[in-house]
Amino acid sequence: MKLLCPALILFLLHTVFFYAYAQQPNTRLAQISSKDSIPAAISGLPSAQASPFKFEHLTATDGLSHNKVQCILQDKQGYMWFGTVHGLNRYDGYTFKVFENIPGDSLSIANDNIISLYQDKNDLIWIGTSTVLSCYDPRTETFRNYNLPALHGEIHDFKEDENGILWIATGFGLFSFDRKTQQETYHATVELGSDNIHSILKDKNKDIFWLATERGIKRFDKKTGSVKTYPLPFPAFNDISKEITHNLIEKQKNLLLIPLTFLILPPLRAG
């Protein structure tokens, strides 16, 4: 199997591009403590001519099920997974294998609109769609689909905690899923209404999650349920990449970086 250069991810996800930018010596990023709100200062983007990366373009003509890619995962075997608006794709460096819903087949994926991908410590690949939570077992190449009554909204991100509980960020809010008991739980991060959460970052403190939301960056304590919000100076998802997941990235010295389309905010200190 041909393993892909990690730079392939860059042309499809602006978040990975942001990693490279954050490492540049001329990047102007201020540091603030968790006691402060996020300032409105914005740093400029680097020149495209300075990029050392080589881009490889893969499209529907190469076997991709759809040109609109919404998420990417490289699994522990080295395969690249691409979630599109019309099917899940596995790429071995040469060809694509497409997984789509097969009507009447309960072992096929339930929904073809793939929004997020995550591989857990047991090598299972979790798939977030616009309606259903699915799980792919690489050993059997079959899917298990979960219609969870309490789970609402598009599934944007996953993280697994030290107890094997799956934490799920959705357009409605934050949920946890205990696979042993098959129980989902909603965790309120706002007093009223829903919370559009796009990304979860695990802190070095195992009880703390950082959440990228429409209302700002939030520090969530899963042990106590307490939430602290760090407001953004403008609506987080009102830029031109409204459909792209807005992620949190941990840099050195426990700093959180918040990438937005063509805008980079100063980091928030984690911990």
Can you tell me which residue has the tokens 């540049």?
A: 24
**Residues 155, 130 share a domain:** no
CA distances for 258 relative to 17, 181, 209, 230, 250, angstroms: 12, 35, 15, 12, 9
Q: Is 76 helix (H, G, I), strand (E, B) or coil?
A: coil
**Residues 197, 265 share a domain:** yes
Residues of the chain with pLDDT under 70: 1-51, 232-271
What is the spatial distance between Cα 37 and Cα 191, in angstroms, rounded to a whole number?
20
**Residues 194, 123 share a domain:** no
Can you tell me which residue has the tokens 């970052």?
A: 201
The total number of structural domains in the chain stands at: 2
Task: Please report whether residue 220 resides in a domain.
Answer: yes
**Residues 225, 135 share a domain:** no
**Residues 134, 13 share a domain:** yes
**Residues 203, 157 share a domain:** yes
Task: Please report whether residue 36 resides in a domain.
Answer: no
Task: Please report whether residue 237 resides in a domain.
Answer: yes
The pLDDT assigned to 254 comes to 55
DSSP 156-177: EEEEE-TTSPEEEEESS-EEEE
**Residues 153, 132 share a domain:** no
Task: Please report whether residue 82 resides in a domain.
Answer: yes
Task: Please report whether residue 38 resides in a domain.
Answer: no
**Residues 173, 106 share a domain:** no
Q: What is the separation of C-alpha 263 from the centre of its chain, rounded to a whole number of angstroms?
A: 18
Predicted structure pTM score: 0.73
Q: Is 270 helix (H, G, I), strand (E, B) or coil?
A: coil
- Is there a contact between 264 and 29 (Cβ–Cβ < 8 Å)? yes
Last residue of a domain, one of 140, 161, 187: 140
Last residue of a domain, one of 119, 140, 161: 140
Last residue of a domain, one of 105, 140, 175: 140
Taking the chain, what is the end-to-end CA distance rounded to the nearest angstrom? Answer: 40
CATH, residue 155: 2.130.10.10
Task: Please report whether residue 261 resides in a domain.
Answer: yes
**Residues 90, 187 share a domain:** no
What is the spatial distance between Cα 18 and Cα 28, in angstroms, rounded to a whole number?
13
Q: Which domain holds residue 92?
A: 1-26+47-140
Task: Please report whether residue 42 resides in a domain.
Answer: no
**Residues 5, 131 share a domain:** yes
The pLDDT assigned to 192 comes to 76
What is the spatial distance between Cα 214 and Cα 232, in angstroms, rounded to a whole number?
9
**Residues 209, 271 share a domain:** yes
**Residues 122, 160 share a domain:** no
Task: Please report whether residue 74 resides in a domain.
Answer: yes
DSSP strand E in the chain: where?
A: 69-74, 80-84, 87-91, 96-99, 114-119, 125-129, 133-137, 142-146, 155-160, 166-170, 174-178, 183-187, 197-202, 208-213, 216-221, 227-230, 249-251, 255-260, 263-269
